Amino acid sequence: MPDRKQENPLRVGLANRAMPEPCSVVIFGATGDLTHRKLVPALYNLAVDGTLPQPVNVVGFARRDKDDATFRAELGEAAARFSRQRISEDTWAAFAGQIAYHRGAFDDADAYRSLAERLDRLDRERGTGGRRLFYLAVAPDQFPVILENLRASGLTRAPSGGWARVIVEKPFGTDLPSARALNELVEGAFPESETYRIDHYLGKETAQNIMVLRFANAIFEHLWNARYISHVQITASEPLGVEGRAGYYEKSGALRDMVQNHLLQLLCLTAMEPPAGLDADSIRDEKVKVLRSLRPLEGADVARYAVRAQYGAGAINGKRVAAYRDEAGVAPESATETYVALQLAIENWRWAGVPFFLRVGKRLPKAATEIAVHFKGAPPVLFHAAGQSIDDNVLVIRIQPDEGVSLRMSAKLPGAALRVEPVKMDFHYGTSFGKATPEAYERLLLDAMSGDATLFARRDEVEEAWKFIDRIRQAWDESPDDLAIYSAGTWGPTEADELIKRAGASWRRL
């Protein structure tokens, strides 16, 4: 039989791969916050680590009037502030020499034609071979005009020996119809194989490690099923409020902003079956199967298995904060949820009868994202008969901020008496491997330049997720009075505690 690894050397997925070839990265929205805080610092850190292809052309596209030198100086200040590594003058000078600014409005056809000429010139001068990565770091309402102009100018058609790819930032629509319309729009300019829908949660090292943890460690994979697991909790909490984003958040809410993408992606990685290989499509095939196996929440089931809430006034770290409805830009009678708790069921052979609890909220006591796998308890004999209370084993996968894995187990407390106490085996990425964990955007940008779509959402993933979320949203829209209120600085409403309590469990304290 032929070696499957030799069939297509480009489809290596999570396996080791060679450094990407030289290319041009064109950032639309180059003067925006995402470019300054995330994209350019990520590219610089790749340069420091020696993993950025050389040469690489970084071309910022925006309408403000400035030249290359001004643009480079502004990005230098941003990199000094937001880079995970200290700025080296020599490294920055070499990297900044590859940055250029291209002025133009998103609806200016001439600006795209001149961009095409500039990229052709850079290909000839610097040997980037017609390889172009277009990053849409703009609001979704700007996608249509940019994509149409890219198509009309011929920039979506790669020169001989090159390629043209596009990275699309979330949100991928606001519901299933808008997601389908957006996907059709993108597909009209770029084929699915060259489209990269970015979710920065999947670029985090621990999110990538979930499959290794599961499928490379027999001690876990043999137990990863309904026979041994009682339930799973996935939590994303943050102490921040809307932070000046009320205009966006009022239209979105926590369900659309976080559950539809971030939390469902983590659910898929936790619950998926072993893929046929480590290539992108094999992995994404299994993630889609999880979404299709979710028992729909609709009608009366939404009231029983879904909780939505909004933060009221309270205190975060000893400082008083306003209620959501008192935030600037929020309607006084707003029903937008800032907290969501869900009980989900995956109707397949592996997970039958195992509840998955998801919760996400703003103005909670701390910032943390984790997956907690709660195993079923040992038989209630021996130590229970001796009056000892034995805690269940819990495997916690920390996505942020302190990336790592911990396992809670039971041990005897030293001394003559028999006392059983929970202890924790803990693994931290930063201390275990002796080097800083790369930022999510570093990995994702490198993958897009390499043509590896493993950590990016495929069209059917996005649409299946919206299909599930839309049913919940519809039920909430039809029952506007079921919004709970929780005090800022607490772990959410009592209704969420009752939700998980009915299943015989309780929320893990982070």
Largest CA distance in the chain: 83
Whole-angstrom distance, CA of residue 180 vs CA of residue 188: 12
Pick the CATH number of 13-169 from 3.40.50.720, 3.40.30.10, 3.40.50.300, 3.60.15.10: 3.40.50.720
The CA angle 261-264-267, to the nearest 5 degrees, is 150
Cα separation, 442 vs 447, whole angstroms: 9
How far the first Cα of the chain sits from its last, in Å, is 50
Contact 310, 481 (CB under 8 A): no
With cut-offs at 50, 70 and 90, classify the pLDDT of residue 386. Answer: low
Residue pLDDT, tens place only, 241-251 = 988 888 889 98
For residues 242 and 327, the answer to whether their CB atoms sit within 8 Å is yes
**8 A C-beta contact, residue 438 and residue 85:** no
Higher pLDDT, 455 or 386: 455
User: What residues are labeled active site?
Assistant: 262
User: Does 2 score more than 50 pLDDT?
Assistant: no
76: pLDDT strictly greater than 60: yes
| Mean pLDDT, residues 139-150 | 93
At 1 the pLDDT is 42
Confidence band for 259, pLDDT divided at 50, 70 and 90: very high
Residues of the chain with CATH 3.30.360.10: 203-438+457-501
User: Bigger pLDDT: 267 or 4?
Assistant: 267
Tell me which CATH code domain 203-438+457-501 carries.
3.30.360.10
Q: Where are the domain boundaries for CATH 3.40.50.720 in the chain?
A: 13-169
Number of Cβ within a 10 Å radius of residue 129:
18
Q: Give the model's pLDDT for residue 6.
A: 40
Q: Cα–Cα distances in Å, from 183 out to 136, 147, 452?
A: 14, 12, 19
17 confidence band (pLDDT: 50, 70, 90): low
- Alpha carbons 61 and 104: distance in angstroms, whole number: 7
Predicted model pTM: 0.90
